[in-house]
């Protein structure tokens, strides 16, 4: 609705807006202890030290990495270094120590920092985008399946497709990708590394690279000097006695021998990626490979290897966009819950009611974690929804049937696995799948066939939200 | 009226404009004496034609036609774009900062803030100043893009009192 009645600019008095924020709205639930934003973060992350540290949910492998590095290095310093310092040079433990601290520093920095998570769209933004997309698609008749949401952009002469993220409700910037393990869109997404217990993205890629580089040096260093130690000792006491005298060396040698291939290989791979300014994601998909077309080139490359390396390693680090330690403003817009049925193309009236109910119901329990929905949010959305709240149950009709058939559809398309340096980022789920899954709110039990935790917790939360709202 | 996807609120308000929608936020309804009710929000999207650097589109949105000059608006967006380009500039100074940070194991950032953060402060000040001088007198407010994850410049349009209640 255009303000001003659609004429030339009237010289009517616009109310002076108070530019300093005056949040007089006191929510009874948050007035006593202002909560920090990390406590209501919608992604699947763990936070420590009051929001200073952010990690992925599964950190078991990270602890294993830590233990492996610390124990191996500890054994080296305890058993091999005394001998080496005396018989070869005292520089050995010094250099080893420096390398060790560098490895630990970069590892912790990679694991604990925000990889470049994109915050989810607020409700207003999402609705604005929705209306734009609807206009772009034109009017659609019942049963017409629109194409997946993409936007074409030309970057430095190369055509790039921006995909719409159904979870975060945004068009992903170029090079961003959605990590299904952390349930976040990450800028310049490289991969999700379980060894460091975090995604590797724009903000922590250089730390990751320095970690694997220094770890390769450390591994080779320890391996070489352990061998040197054993050989030196065996000159004096014989090989078997040497092994008996320092059994730790055997363990270290074994660990280093098996690690060195993968770590050094990985360093080499990432050196190649940095020099060509690609992400692991793009390399695996072959986005800029000439096999796709003669005219295909990487639009982000700066032309030569040196520039690419400098930019990747010494360029500016952008600040974190998610403001973990900020306090939640009572009148701040809430981000929208990930939708599984928010888009209904040419749906019938009952379906549209259902789908319309879905985002509102889901706005309350928008946390994908196990936190209960904040009561404050319900009061925010309930008055906005003039829909009969006594109608939370979906119509038990055809959608159920189509839901089952599209379950198998959803399963491969929603997978976006980020294994250690191996991943297959996928397209957004097809809208038909979305259509059916939206009307299956209370059929969350059927969704449990997925072993995707995001689906489960999402629907559990939405069911919980249903129950909460119906009791309001 | 064709059933709309997305929020049901759009169903209850007359269709017409493409981009704007009325959403009387509940808390401001209670607060209308002190604060004008929000009539609509418009979003200036990112412009990716130069790559992943933070730039915003200069397209003049139709909802702002009656409220502000095109030149004024473009000037605001252009200045913001220049400021963001300055923040992300890759040159001798940023390399120096990066190398120094690496050598000190990034502990230097406990004492001083990065160049990017300094420019973000400049941007916040600029937006505040623009709001005070230009946008608030016209019944609008610009939200700092950093609060929206550098995705959009959100311009909140407040209803004019003379026009009465929301549309």
Task: Please report how the helices A60-75 and A91-112 are oriented relative to each other, as an axis angle in degrees rounded to 10.
Answer: 170
Query: pLDDT-based confidence at A223, cuts 50/70/90?
Result: very high
Residues with Cβ within 8 Å of A315's Cβ and at least 6 positions away in sequence, in order, are B90, B94, B95, B98
Give percent of chain B above pLDDT 70. 74
> From start to end of chain B, where are the E strands?
38-45, 140-143, 152-158
Q: How far apart are the two ends of chain B, measured CA to CA in Å?
A: 18
> Residue B39: which of A3, A210, A322 has the nearest Cβ?
A3
Are residues B137 and A16, on separate chains, in Cβ contact within 8 Å? yes
Task: Looking at the complex, report in whole angstroms how far the Cα of residue A185 sits from the nearest Cα belonging to chain B.
Answer: 11
Structure tokens at B85: 């380009």
- Put simply, whether A143 touches B (Cβ < 8 Å) is no
Query: pLDDT-based confidence at A16, cuts 50/70/90?
Result: low
CA distance linking residue A392 with residue A465, whole number of Å: 10
Are residues A13 and B161, on separate chains, in Cβ contact within 8 Å? yes
Query: pLDDT-based confidence at A115, cuts 50/70/90?
Result: very high
Query: pLDDT-based confidence at A212, cuts 50/70/90?
Result: very high
pLDDT of residue A114: 92
Question: Does the pLDDT value for residue A111 go beyond 90?
Answer: yes
Q: Are A100 and A78 within 8 A, CB to CB?
A: no
A165 is catalytic: no
Are residues B154 and A318, on separate chains, in Cβ contact within 8 Å? no
Give the residue from chain A lying closest to B101, CA to CA: A314
Across A35-49, B101-115, B144-158, least confident range: B101-115
Give the residue from chain B lying closest to A356, CA to CA: B8
pLDDT digits (tens, 9 = 90+) for A411-466: 344 434 433 444 444 444 444 434 444 344 344 444 444 444 444 444 444 444 44
Across A71-85, A126-140, A257-271, least confident range: A126-140
pLDDT digits (tens, 9 = 90+) for A24-57: 444 444 456 778 888 888 889 999 988 889 999 9
Beta bridge partners of A163: A150
Query: pLDDT-based confidence at A337, cuts 50/70/90?
Result: low
**B11 or A156, greater pLDDT:** A156
Residue A186 CB: number of other CB atoms within 10 A? 30
Residue A422 CB: number of other CB atoms within 10 A? 10
Query: pLDDT-based confidence at A410, cuts 50/70/90?
Result: very low
Task: Looking at the complex, report in whole angstroms how far the Cα of residue B58 sits from the nearest Cα belonging to chain A.
Answer: 16
pLDDT digits (tens, 9 = 90+) for A169-188: 889 998 999 999 999 999 99
Mean of all residue pLDDT scores within chain A: 71
Which residue reads 């119906």 in tokens?
A: A470
Question: Does the pLDDT value for residue B32 go beyond 70?
Answer: no
pLDDT digits (tens, 9 = 90+) for B19-29: 444 444 444 33
> Residue A17: which of B18, B46, B136 has the nearest Cβ?
B136
pLDDT of residue B22: 44
* B-proximal residues of A, 380-439, CB under 8 Å: 380, 383-387
pLDDT digits (tens, 9 = 90+) for B44-93: 999 888 888 899 999 888 888 888 888 999 999 999 999 999 998 888 88
**A402 or A21, greater pLDDT:** A21
- Put simply, whether B129 touches A (Cβ < 8 Å) is no
Question: Does the pLDDT value for residue A156 go beyond 80?
Answer: yes
Are residues A173 and B48, on separate chains, in Cβ contact within 8 Å? yes
Structure tokens at A70: 């610390």
pLDDT of residue B13: 45
pLDDT of residue A323: 82
**A99 or B11, greater pLDDT:** A99
pLDDT of residue A21: 52
Range A232-257 average pLDDT: 88
- Put simply, whether A303 touches B (Cβ < 8 Å) is no
Give the residue from chain B lying closest to A107, CA to CA: B105
pLDDT of residue A273: 92
Q: Which of A5, A15, A274 to mutate to test the interface with B (most CBs of B within 10 A)?
A: A15
pLDDT of residue A267: 95
CA distance linking residue A117 with residue A203, whole number of Å: 9
pLDDT of residue A386: 42
CA distance linking residue A89 with residue A86, whole number of Å: 6
Question: Does the pLDDT value for residue B7 go beyond 50?
Answer: no
Stated pTM of the model: 0.68
SS3 for A249?
Answer: helix
pLDDT of residue A334: 59
β-strands A177-179, A184-186: how paired? Answer: antiparallel
Are residues A360 and B7, on separate chains, in Cβ contact within 8 Å? yes
Catalytic residue, chosen from A182, A193, A256, A403, is: A193
- Put simply, whether B17 touches A (Cβ < 8 Å) is yes
Query: pLDDT-based confidence at B113, cuts 50/70/90?
Result: confident
> Residue B19: which of A118, A132, A310 has the nearest Cβ?
A132
Query: pLDDT-based confidence at B108, cuts 50/70/90?
Result: confident
């Amino acid at each position: 609705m255009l303000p001003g009645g659609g004429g030339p600019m009237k010289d009517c008095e616009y109310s002076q807006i108070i530019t300093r924020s005056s949040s007089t709205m006191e929510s009874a639930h948050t007035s006593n202890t202002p909560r920090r934003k990390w406590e209501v973060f919608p992604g699947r992350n763990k936070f420590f030290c009051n929001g200073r540290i952010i990690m992925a949910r599964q950190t078991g492998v990270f602890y294993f990495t830590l233990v492996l590095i610390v124990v191996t290095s500890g054994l080296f310093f305890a058993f091999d270094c005394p001998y080496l310092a005396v018989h070869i040079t005292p520089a050995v433990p010094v250099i080893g120590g420096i390398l060790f601290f560098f490895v630990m520093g970069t590892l912790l920095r990679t694991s604990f920092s925000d990889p470049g998570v994109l915050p989810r769209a607020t409700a207003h933004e999402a609705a604005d985008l929705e209306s734009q997309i609807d206009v772009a698609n034109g009017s659609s008749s019942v049963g017409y399946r629109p194409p997946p949401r993409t936007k074409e952009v030309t970057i430095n002469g190369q055509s790039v497709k921006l995909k719409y993220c159904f979870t975060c409700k945004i068009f992903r910037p170029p090079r961003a990708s959605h990590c299904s393990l952390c349930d976040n869109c990450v800028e310049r997404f490289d991969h999700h590394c379980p060894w460091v217990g975090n995604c590797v993205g724009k903000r922590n890629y250089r730390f990751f690279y320095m970690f694997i580089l220094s770890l390769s040096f450390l591994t080779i260093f320890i391996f070489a000097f352990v061998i040197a130690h054993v050989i030196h000792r065996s000159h004096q006491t014989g090989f078997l006695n040497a092994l008996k005298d320092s059994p730790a060396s055997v363990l270290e040698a074994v660990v280093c021998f098996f690690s060195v291939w993968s770590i050094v290989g990985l360093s080499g791979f990432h050196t190649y990626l940095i020099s060509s300014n690609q992400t692991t994601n793009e390399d695996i998909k072959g986005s800029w490979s000439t096999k796709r077309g003669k005219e295909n080139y990487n639009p982000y490359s700066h032309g030569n290897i040196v520039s690419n390396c400098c930019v990747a390693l010494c360029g500016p680090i952008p600040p974190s966009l998610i403001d973990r330690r900020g306090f939640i403003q009572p009148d701040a817009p809430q981000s929208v819950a990930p939708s599984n049925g928010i888009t209904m193309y040419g749906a019938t009236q009952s379906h549209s009611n259902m789908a319309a109910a879905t985002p509102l119901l889901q706005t309350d329990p928008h946390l994908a974690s196990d936190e209960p929905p904040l009561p404050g949010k319900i009061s925010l959305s309930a008055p906005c929804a003039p829909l009969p709240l006594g109608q939370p149950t979906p119509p038990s009709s055809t959608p159920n049937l189509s839901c089952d058939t599209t379950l198998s559809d959803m399963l491969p398309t929603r997978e976006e696995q980020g294994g250690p340096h191996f991943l297959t980022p996928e397209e957004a789920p097809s809208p038909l799948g979305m259509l059916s899954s939206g009307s299956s709110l209370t059929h969350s039990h059927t969704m449990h066939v997925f072993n995707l935790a995001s689906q489960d917790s999402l629907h559990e939360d939405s069911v919980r939200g249903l129950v909460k709202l119906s009791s309001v | 009226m064709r059933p709309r996807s997305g929020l049901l609120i759009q169903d209850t308000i007359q269709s017409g404009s493409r981009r704007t929608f009325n959403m009387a936020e509940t808390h401001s309804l209670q607060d209308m004496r002190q604060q004008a009710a929000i009539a609509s929000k418009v979003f200036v999207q990112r412009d990716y034609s130069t790559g992943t650097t933070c730039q915003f589109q200069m397209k003049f949105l139709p909802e702002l036609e009656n409220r502000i000059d095109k030149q004024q608006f473009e000037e605001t967006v252009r200045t913001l774009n220049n400021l963001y380009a300055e923040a992300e500039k890759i040159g001798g100074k940023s390399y120096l900062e990066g190398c120094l940070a690496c050598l000190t194991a990034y502990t230097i950032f406990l004492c001083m803030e990065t160049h990017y953060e300094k420019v973000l402060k400049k941007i916040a000040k600029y937006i505040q100043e623009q709001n005070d001088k230009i946008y608030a007198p016209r019944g609008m407010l610009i939200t700092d893009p950093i609060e929206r994850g550098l995705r959009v410049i959100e311009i909140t349009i407040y209803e004019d009192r003379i026009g009465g209640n929301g549309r």
